[in-house]
Amino acid sequence: MKIGILTGGGDCPGLNAVVRGVTKAALRKGWEVIGFKDGYKGVVENRFENLDDRAVSGILIRGGTILGTSNTANPFAYTLEPFGSAGSPKDLSGLAVKNLKKAGVNALVAIGGDGTLNIAYKLHKNGFPVVGVPKTIDNDLSATDVTFGFDSALKVATEAIDNVHTTAESHHRVMIVETMGRYAGWIALRSGIAGGGDIILLPEIPYRPQDILKAVNDRRRRGKHFSIVVVSEGAKPENGEMTVNRVVAGSTDPLRLGGVSYKIAGLIEKNIEVECRVVVLGHLQRGGSPTPFDRWLATGFGVGAVDLIERKKFGRMMSLSCYKCVSVTLAQAVGKLRRVPLDCPEIRTALSVGTSFGNAKITA
């Protein structure tokens, strides 16, 4: 048996732990393992390397991915030179499958988020044996309780909120911390609760400017002359749109969000005599060493993926359910995004300690 591994989409802590888990588990069954370079780009361009114990030694604690990644290399709509172009996407899925077979790959382990796993699902439907492993700091994949990478990003965001508290209090400022998350507010929600955010703005709860101003003013009347606002990059005003920083053609999700925190700062400074400062965490949340939880989860997912291949359970994705590594179908995994539900107990928890969601309609 020879299996292939690729890491697609944005990088995050824990990817190397999965690569290590898959490789070590497979080698101990007497299998061969190859890693495709830069996600599906390596499959289309037939670029890979052999993986052995030495290749994965010491990578458990490293962030990023030793294989490289790409969030624009979709073999079903390929736009990268010299095989495709942004103006004329090509369906090179047939070439991808041909290269997999030419390399002697019996099954492919695709590690990634919704874009990577959607591609994996299409390859599976086209007849190639694929197993998926869920990865995203956004924690927005359905059919799993949590994705690896999320806990590490959450740690970075929470530490950032902790660190701005002292300067906010010293200068009587409003500090606005912008997290990643795209269309799901899990990072902002949990880091906001853990870091004691006074206002948390989520994509799932459109904010009302007057309610943000009221929350800041209410704190000032109670003698709290500083406020911490935690805002997810996908937050938007009621009857308004998300803040798009730029558009990347050829990506599975071309919209790059970011900058909503500056809008919130402008709103507050225009209406309240208080100084605001903005901290956009950006890719800080993707970097660094994975937390112990993410190492544990990623290793379990990697070993579980090999087990699925051994049992010929293709077209499935590893999943965490009640702290157990199980599997679900890729169809279940990519069916819809996992967003913060309005009846989420965590929202009630935040409301109960006085946190505002920038919308007075949301009550405990």
Percent of the chain having pLDDT more than 90? 83
Q: Would you place residue 224 in the very low, low, confident or very high pLDDT band (cuts 50, 70, 90)?
A: very high
Residue 255 has pLDDT above 90, yes or no: no
Pairing state of beta strands 276-280 and 174-179? parallel
Backbone angles phi, psi at 123, to 5 degrees: -60, -40
| Whether the Cβ atoms of residue 337 and residue 184 lie closer than 8 Å to each other | yes
**E runs forming strands in the chain:** 2-7, 32-36, 48-50, 107-112, 130-134, 174-179, 199-201, 227-232, 244-247, 255-257, 276-280, 316-321, 324-329
What are the catalytic residues? Answer: 138
* Ordered domains of the chain (ranges, CATH): 2-148+290-333 (3.40.50.450), 152-286+341-352 (3.40.50.460)
The whole-model pTM stands at 0.92
At residue 250, does pLDDT exceed 70? no
* CA dist., res. 26 & res. 24, Å (int): 5
User: Which pLDDT score, from 0 to 100, does residue 12 have?
Assistant: 92
Q: 235 Cβ partners below 8 Å, 6+ apart?
A: 185, 188, 201, 202, 203, 207, 242, 260, 358
Quick check: 68 pLDDT over 70? yes
Question: What was the pLDDT predicted at 280?
Answer: 95
Mean pLDDT to the nearest integer, 150-159: 96
Mean pLDDT of the chain: 93
